[in-house]
């Protein structure tokens, strides 16, 4: 199911200014923080040594103001980075609420870093840092599908093939015929979010999901009242044998080149 969203709703889901969750994500781990601190220290040193000699003492207030900004780069850097990612996402003209199902889910071990050292014998030793990732594939009845790989978390164990999956899809076409980008994936049955970056305002997205979901329930109940036995999957049933109501998109979405 694909429901077009108004621009106002899209702007609410993906704000221009970074949210708290996006700031925390871009804050990173200790190495990222250390790198930002190093940039701040070097930047302040350059301002004190070179800007003073070039501009003279008459620009003392400007030098002080610039030093404060550069010195606090370690703090405001993540907010600017997250805001830039939001602006990049908001450049698309149209957005839609997509609902499908989980096609496949599995865990893989990936190499996140590799370090080469020489031991006492002069032999080259390669040390690989591996991390477990969740691989999630979602799709719908039109044939559209997309995959997402994220670091494995404990709550990911509740995701099963056939679960309902929802996300925000972005496009430059009014009919959403070409999907250019997708957001984090929401599994409403278990209230699980799967994402490599928290694009959407999650509370607002869940509210939109709840508003759309009841529209399908009456149709589902009417279908079940007409048949005593569940219909086969080829007639529109899900993997659990429950009758579901799906709205076919006018055109199969596909990725932009």
pLDDT in tens, 18-66: 999 999 999 998 999 999 999 999 999 888 887 767 766 666 777 888 8
Q: What is the pLDDT of residue 239?
A: 40
Domain ranges of the chain: 2-22+91-255
* Contact (CB, 8 A) for 134 and 150: yes
Name the burial class of residue 39, with classes exposed (0-12), middle (13-18) and buried (19+) by CB atoms within 10 angstroms of its CB.
middle
Residue 229 scores a pLDDT above 60: no
Q: Which residues contact 249 (CB under 8 A, 6 or more apart)?
A: 1, 2, 140, 142, 144, 176
pLDDT in tens, 143-169: 999 999 999 998 898 899 999 999 999
**214: pLDDT confidence band, cut at 50, 70 and 90?**
low
Residue 231 scores a pLDDT above 70: no
Q: Which residue shows structure tokens 């780069």?
A: 73
Residue 12 scores a pLDDT above 90: yes
Higher pLDDT, 234 or 115: 115
Q: Is the dihedral of CA 34, 38, 43, 48 positive or negative?
A: positive
Q: Which residue shows structure tokens 């980008």?
A: 181
pLDDT in tens, 66-125: 889 999 999 999 999 999 999 999 999 999 999 999 999 999 998 877 788 887 777 788
What DSSP letter does each residue of the chain carry, written as one string?
-EEEE-HHHHHHHS-SSPPHHHHHHHH--HHHHHHHHHHHHHHHHHIIIIIHHHH-GGGHHHHHHHHHHHHTHHHHHHHHHHHHHHHHHHTSSEEEEEEEEEEEEEEEEEEEEEEEEE-TTS-EEEEEEEEEEEEEEEE-TTS-EEEEEEE--GGGGG--TT-EEEEEEEESSTT--EE-EE--EEETTTTEEE-SS--S-HHHHHHHHHHHHHHHHHHHHHHHHH-SSPPPGGGTB-TTS-B------SS--EE--
Higher pLDDT, 13 or 251: 13
Ramachandran assignment for 28, one of left (phi > 0), alpha (psi -120 to 50 degrees), beta (any other)? left
Q: What is the pLDDT of residue 50?
A: 78
Structure tokens given for 133: 């990732």
């Amino acid at each position: 199911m694909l429901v077009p969203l108004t621009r106002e709703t899209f702007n609410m889901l993906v704000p221009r200014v970074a949210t708290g969750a996006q700031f925390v994500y871009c804050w990173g781990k200790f190495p990222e923080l250390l790198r930002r601190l190093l940039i701040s220290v070097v930047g302040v040193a350059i301002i004190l040594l070179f800007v003073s000699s070039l501009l003279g003492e008459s620009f003392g207030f400007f030098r002080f103001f610039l030093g404060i900004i550069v010195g606090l780069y370690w703090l405001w850097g993540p907010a600017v980075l997250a805001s830039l990612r939001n602006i990049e996402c908001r450049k698309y003209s149209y957005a839609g609420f997509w609902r499908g199902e989980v096609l496949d889910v599995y865990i893989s071990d990936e190499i996140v870093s590799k370090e080469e050292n020489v031991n006492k014998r002069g032999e080259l030793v390669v040390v690989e840092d591996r991390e477990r990732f969740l691989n999630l594939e979602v799709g719908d009845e039109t044939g559209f599908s997309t995959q997402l790989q994220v670091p494995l978390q404990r709550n990911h164990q509740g995701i099963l093939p056939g679960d309902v999956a929802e996300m925000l899809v972005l496009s430059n076409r009014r009919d959403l015929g070409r999907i250019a980008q997708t957001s984090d994936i929401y599994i409403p049955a278990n209230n699980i979010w799967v994402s490599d970056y928290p694009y959407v305002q999650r509370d607002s997205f869940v509210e939109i999901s709840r508003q759309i979901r009841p529209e399908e329930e009456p149709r589902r109940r009417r279908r079940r009242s007409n048949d005593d036995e569940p219909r086969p999957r080829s007639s529109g049933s899900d993997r659990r044998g429950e009758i579901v109501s799906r709205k076919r998109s006018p055109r199969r979405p596909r990725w932009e080149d």
